[in-house]
Amino acid sequence: MELYCFGESGHSYKAALALELAGCEWEPVFVDFFSGETRSELYRQKINNMGEVPVLIDGEIKLSQSGVIQSYIAEKTGRHGGEAGAQKNEILRWILWDNSKFSITIGMTRFLMNFVPEPQRPDAVIKFNQSRLKMAYRVLNDALEGRRFLVGSTITHADMTCCGYLFYPEPFGFDRTDWPNIDRWLSNICSTPGWKAPYDLMPGNPADRA
C-alpha cells in the first residue's frame, strides 16, 4: 500500500500510525504541500479531487479522509476496530468527534502559530481557537478517567484519531501536564509496540525547510 502524506500533517499521521500498528506493508509517498502540490491540477485530477492528504492506494482502491482510511485498515486487517457492535459504534463516535471538534481546530491553530509568518498571524483567531480547545481537552481528559484507552482495554482507532496532533513538537497551546489523564493516555500509546512519532513515520519536517 502507498500513503500520500507529509510529516507535518496530523491527519496523515493518523493513517500512517494505523498502518504501522496494524503491521501493514506500506510506504509513504511524499506530498510537497508547502510548495502547493495539493493545489495543483495534476494532484487534483490524479490523486484527490479534494486537494488533500492523506490518500491511501491499495491496488485499485483509492481512499481519502483519515477516518475512512482507518475504517478500511480495520476491516482489512481485523485489528483495532473494536470487538463488537457497541465498541465499533463508540470508535466511530470518537472518529467523528475528533474530525469535527478536535483535530480540525488543533490543525488550524498549529498551522497559524508555526507555519504562517509571524506578522501575518491572526492573534484573535488563535486565542479563540485555543479557548475552544480547552473544552475539547476537558472532554477527552474526562473520558479517560480510570481508563488506559478510549474504547476497550487496548488501543483502537479511537485513540489513533484523537492522538493525531498531540504528539507534534510545535506549540499550539497544549501542555499535556495540564491534563493528567491525557498525559497518561499518551504515554500508554507511546508504549504500544510499533509506535512511532510523526516525523519518524513520514517524510517532511519543518527542519527540511529551515
Residues 185 and 203 placed together within one structural domain of the fold: no
| Three-class SS state of 55 | strand
Tell me, what's the pLDDT at 131? 98
Which of 68-103 are b and which e, b meaning 16 or more Cβ less than 10 Å from the residue's Cβ?
ebbbbbbeeeebbbbeeeeebebbbebbebbbebbb
Backbone phi and psi for residue 170, each to the nearest 5 degrees, phi listed first: -70, 140
- Domain with residue 19: its CATH number is 3.40.30.10
Domain limits at 163?
85-190
Tell me, what's the pLDDT at 76? 97
Residues 114 and 153 placed together within one structural domain of the fold: yes
Tell me, what's the pLDDT at 209? 80
Residues 180 and 146 placed together within one structural domain of the fold: yes
Residues 59 and 129 placed together within one structural domain of the fold: no
Residues 6 or more apart in contact with residue 101 via CB below 8 angstroms: 136, 139
pTM of structure: 0.96
Give the whole-angstrom CA distance, residue 7 versus residue 203: 5
Residues 75 and 91 placed together within one structural domain of the fold: no
Q: How many CB atoms lie within 10 A of CB 1?
A: 17
- Domain with residue 143: its CATH number is 1.20.1050.10
Residues 95 and 139 placed together within one structural domain of the fold: yes
- Of 2, 21, 6, the C-alpha closest to 161 is 21
Residues 116 and 168 placed together within one structural domain of the fold: yes
Query: Considering the chain, what is the average pLDDT of its residues?
Result: 97
Residues 41 and 57 placed together within one structural domain of the fold: yes
- pLDDT (average), residues 189-197: 98
Give the whole-angstrom CA distance, residue 106 versus residue 98: 10
- pLDDT (average), residues 133-143: 98
Number of domains in the chain: 2
Residues 93 and 6 placed together within one structural domain of the fold: no
Residues 61 and 96 placed together within one structural domain of the fold: no
Give the whole-angstrom CA distance, residue 114 versus residue 128: 16
Tell me, what's the pLDDT at 10? 98
Residues 201 and 166 placed together within one structural domain of the fold: no
Q: Tens digits of per-residue pLDDT, 99-137?
A: 999 999 999 999 999 999 999 999 999 999 999 999 999
pLDDT over 80 at 11, yes or no: yes
pLDDT over 80 at 210, yes or no: no
Residues 71 and 121 placed together within one structural domain of the fold: no
Give the whole-angstrom CA distance, residue 19 versus residue 74: 9
Give the whole-angstrom CA distance, residue 164 versus residue 95: 11
